[in-house]
Amino acid sequence: MRPSVLDPLFASASALPGVGPKSARLYDRLLGRDDARALDLLFHLPYGLVDNRLSPSIRDAPIDSHVVIAGRVAEHRIPKRYSSAPLSVLIEDEAGDDVLLVFFRNNFDWVLRALPIGEIRWFSGDLKLWNGHRQIAHPRIIDQAALKQMREHDPVYGLTEGLHQRNVQKAVEAALARLPKLPEWIDPALMQREKWPSFAGALAFVHAPKATADLSPETVARKRLAYDELLSQQLALRLVRAKTRRLRGRPTEGDGRISGTIEQALPYSLTNAQRAALSDIRGDMASDRKMLRLLQGDVGSGKTIVALLAMASAVEAGRQAALMAPTEILARQHFERIAPLARAAGMRLGLLTGRDKAAERRASLEALAAGEMDIVVGTHALVQDSVAFRDLALAIVDEQHRFGVHQRLALGEKGEATDVLVMTATPIPRTLVLTYFGDMDVSNLTEKPAGRQRIDTRAVPLERIDDVIAGIERATREGARAYWVCPLVAENEELEVAAAQDRFEDLQKRFGARVGLVHGQMKGREKDAAMLAFQSGETQVLVATTVIEVGVDVPEATIIVIEHAERFGLAQLHQLRGRVGRGAQKSSCILLYKGPLGETAKARLSILRESDDGFRLAEEDLKLRGEGEILGTRQSGMPGFRLADLSAHAVLLKLAREDVDGILERDEALASERGQALRALLYLFERDEAVRLLRSG
C-alpha cells in the first residue's frame, strides 16, 4: 500500500485550482499520461525564464527578448474599414524613444479604450526589430495593481497546443501548495556535506528560477532531486537483483569435448577477451545460481563464436540451448554461420522463424520437445506457447535492446531455472550499464580478432554525390560491392522507405540490374532474396534503410555510403560502418552530409573519423545525445529519467549505488526509520515492484 502521506501528489491534476476536466486532457497530452497527476506537474521542470523587471527606458530594453516597458500613448494608427491590416499604437517614453504595439485581432475597441492617448501604461511582450523599428506584437497591458504583484522572474515551461505559460505556472503553483511534509530519506551526513535542501525546498527552487544559472543541472536543488531519482532507481534495482540472486539455478557443466572440437576448427585463435567472457559464462552456468549476464562487444569482436561455445557447454551436459535474434535476416545469418561448426562437432541444429511451412515447423517443434534438437536459432517465434523444450539450459538473446523486457525474459521461462545471456553489438556507456543493467553481470569484448582492418572513414558534402557515385562505379567494375544507406527520417519508416526507393531508382539509371533494395516494409522472402543476391554478387550495390544496421555479414562488401549522416547517432553510424571491413580487402565508409552542420553533428562526424573504438564512441554519444536516445527507452521498455541527467549527474549515480550498498547491509528489510522513508521514496518514483519484493521476501 502506498503511504497515505503521498496521496496529494498522486491526486489527478484535474482537481487542481484552474485546471478542471476540460483542460485536464491538455495536461495529459503535455505530461504523457492518461491521467496526469500533481506529481507529474512537479516533475515537469522549466527550461527557461522570463525577466519581468521594468526596463529603465525603451532604448535600454534588449531586442529579441521578453521585456517590460513603460511609456505614454502617443498615436493610434487605425486600419481602414474592412482592411485586414493590424491596429498599431505608438508608445513614447520621456527620452523620446518609441515602440510600436501591434494588434492583429479585430477587437480594436477594447484596445483603444485601454490605451487612451496621453496616458502612461505598462506593457510586457517580446521586443523585435521590424523594418528598423522596435515592435511588440500583442503585448500584455499591465495596470499599476498588476505591476506591483508581478514577480521579477517567471519560469518558462514546455507547452502543448491549447495551454499557455500562465496556465502551467498556476497549475504548478497549486501542486506545490499541496506538497505534503515528507520523511527525509537521504542520509543526514550527506545532506549536510552537499548542502542540499529538503525535497520540498528543492522543488520550490527549481520552479522559481531567478537567473539562467538556476536552470542548470548543477544547482544544489537540481542535484538533490536527481539524487532522489537515482537513489530510488538503484535501490529498486538492487532489490530486484537480490531476488534474482536468490533464484536457484541448475548447475550445467560441460566436459569440453564439443567446444574443444569447435575451437580447433576455427581459422583463428580466440582473443583474451573472448576467453575471459567464456570463463565468466561457464562459471555462471556451473553454479547453483541462475545466470543473468550481459555480453557486450564492439562490431566484429566475435560474440557469435562465444555464444556457440557457451551453447556447446550446455549440449555437453546433455541439455539444450536457444539463440533468439530480433529479425529473420539476423536469425538466418546466425544459423548459417554456426551450422557448419556445430554439425561438424556433432550437434543437432534447427531454425525456427515465423515463416516456416507448417510441416517444417511441426517437425522442429517435435524434435525440440523430444530432445532430438540440441540448439535452436530463431526469432521471437521461439517464445510462442507452442514451443516446448525437453530441457532448456541456456537462453541467449541477441541485440537485446530490440526486444521488450517481457520478450527477453520469456525465452528463459521455457525451461526450469534456465540461464539467460543477453548480447549487444552496440556498446553501452559504463554509466548506463550501471543504471539500466545493474541487475545483470557484465562481460565486455574489447578486442577485435587479429587481421581486422581499420576502415577508411571520410565525410563528404552532399553536393559531391555525383563524385561518390562515379567512385562506386569504378570500384564495382573491379568487382567491389557497396551498401548505400538511406537517411533516417525522424522516426517515420514510410518516409525512410520512400527515400530508399528514390535512391534505388536513381542508382538504377547508372548500375541497371546490379542494384538491389532492402527495407523493413518488404516481405520476409523479398528481403532474404535481396540479401542473397548481394551476398552472391548478383547485385553489387545494395540500397538499404537501417534494417542492415545490426549483424548483416557480407565479407565481400568493402564500401558503405551513409546518406545524410548528420541525422544518425554516433553508435548507429559506428554500427553501420561495421557492415564493411569484414574481409581481407581494404574498406571505406563515406559519410554524406548536408551542410551547414550544427556543432553536435560536426563533433559526431569528427569523432567517428578519429576512432573505431565502439566503447569510446558510446561514451561520446552519451555526452552528445543523452541516455534516452542511445538506449531507445521507448522501444526497450526501460525507464527514462525525469529529474536526473546522466551526462551531468554520473557522480551522483556512483554515490547512490554506494549508499544503497550500505543501507541494505544494515537494514535489508528497510524496517528502520530511514528504511520506512526509503519505502516512501520507492513509491514516489513508482518503483512499487521493489516494495512488493520486500514484502514477499
Q: Is the dihedral of CA 274, 276, 278, 284 positive or negative?
A: negative
Residue 615 has pLDDT above 80, yes or no: yes
C-alpha cell at 555: 565479407
pLDDT at 400: 60
Please state, as a whole number, how many other Cβ atoms lie within 10 Å of the Cβ of residue 116. Answer: 10
Cα–Cα distance between 56 and 484 in angstroms, integer? 60
pLDDT given for residue 550 in this prediction: 56
How far from the centroid of its chain's Cα atoms is residue 637's Cα?
10
What is the phi/psi pair of residue 554, to 5°?
Answer: -125, 95
Q: Are 573 and 457 in contact (CB under 8 A)?
A: no
DSSP 8-state secondary structure symbol assigned to residue 15: G
Residue 313, pLDDT score: 97
pLDDT in tens, 137-184: 989 888 877 788 788 898 999 988 889 888 999 999 999 999 999 999
Query: If you average pLDDT over each of 243-247, 249-253, 391-395, which comes out highest?
Result: 391-395
pLDDT at 117 over 90: yes
Helix axes 220-246, 688-696, angle to 10 degrees: 40
* Whole-angstrom distance, CA of residue 243 vs CA of residue 272: 32
Res. 694: pLDDT tops 90? no
CATH 3.40.605.10 fits 53-150, yes or no: no
Mean pLDDT of the chain: 87
Cell representation of residue 161:
497546443
**CA nearest neighbour of 90 among 107, 78, 105:** 78
Q: Which residues contact 300 (CB under 8 A, 6 or more apart)?
A: 448, 449, 452, 578, 581, 582
CA distances from 65 to 49, 133, 136, 393, 681 (A): 11, 15, 10, 65, 40
pLDDT of amino acid 333: 85
Report field, pTM of the whole predicted structure over 0.75: no
Looking at residue 638, what is its pLDDT? 42
pLDDT value for 497: 60
Say what angle helices 257-265 and 328-344 make with each other, to 10 degrees. Answer: 100
pLDDT tens column, 216-236 = 999 999 999 999 999 998 898
d(CA 428, CA 639): 16
The pLDDT value given to residue 632 = 43
Higher pLDDT: 432 or 197? It is 197
SS3 692: helix
More confident of the two residues 208 and 500: 208
Return the pLDDT at 65.
Answer: 86
% of the chain residues with pLDDT over 90? 54
Higher-confidence residue of 52 and 106: namely 52
Do 73 and 117 touch, CB atoms closer than 8 A? yes
Q: Is the pLDDT of residue 398 over 60?
A: yes
The pLDDT, as a whole number, for residue 637 is 36
From CA 574, how far away is CA 614, in angstroms rounded? 7
Residue 636 has pLDDT above 50, yes or no: no
**Sign of torsion, CA 521 523 524 525?**
negative
Q: Which pLDDT band, with edges at 50, 70 and 90, does 534 fall under? A: very high
Q: Cα(238)–Cα(106) distance, rounded to whole angstroms?
A: 62
pLDDT in tens, 21-43: 889 999 998 998 888 999 999 99
Asked if the model's pLDDT at residue 541 lies above 60, the reply is yes
| Assigned C-alpha cell, 387 | 514451443
Question: What average pLDDT does the segment 353-359 reach?
Answer: 86
* Residues 403-434: tens digit of each pLDDT: 555 565 678 889 888 999 989 877 777 767 76
Q: ∠ CA 401-391-293 to the nearest 5 degrees?
A: 30
Q: What CATH architecture does domain 257-445 belong to?
A: 3-Layer(aba) Sandwich (3.40)
Helices H, strands E: what count in the chain? 27, 21
What does the pLDDT average to over 9-24?
A: 89
pLDDT (0 to 100) of residue 440: 76
* Count of other CB atoms within 10 angstroms of residue 477: 9
DSSP 530-553: HHHHHHHTS-SEEEE-GGGSSS--
Cβ proximity of 537 and 481 under 8 Å = yes
Distance of CA 346 to the CA centre of its chain: 42
Q: Report the alpha-carbon angle 112-115-118, nearest 5.
A: 120
Domains of the chain: which residue ranges?
Answer: 1-47+159-174, 53-150, 181-246+658-697, 257-445, 456-611
User: With left for phi above 0 and alpha for psi between -120 and 50, is residue 546 left, alpha or beta?
Assistant: alpha
Contact 576, 562 (CB under 8 A): yes
Transcribe 518-534 into DSSP letters.
Answer: E-TTS-HHHHHHHHHHH
Kindly tell me the sign of the dihedral angle through the C-alpha atoms of 270, 271, 272, 274. negative
**Does 208 have pLDDT greater than 50?**
yes
The CATH H-level (homologous superfamily) assignment of domain 456-611 is: P-loop containing nucleotide triphosphate hydrolases (3.40.50.300)
**Mean pLDDT of all residues in 643-670:** 89
Strands 320-324 and 392-398: parallel
- Which is higher by pLDDT, 375 or 690? 375
What's the mean pLDDT in 340-355? 93
Q: What is the 3 state secondary structure string of 92-117?
A: ECCCCCEEEEEECCCCHHHHHHHCCC
Confidence of residue 646 (pLDDT cuts 50, 70, 90): confident
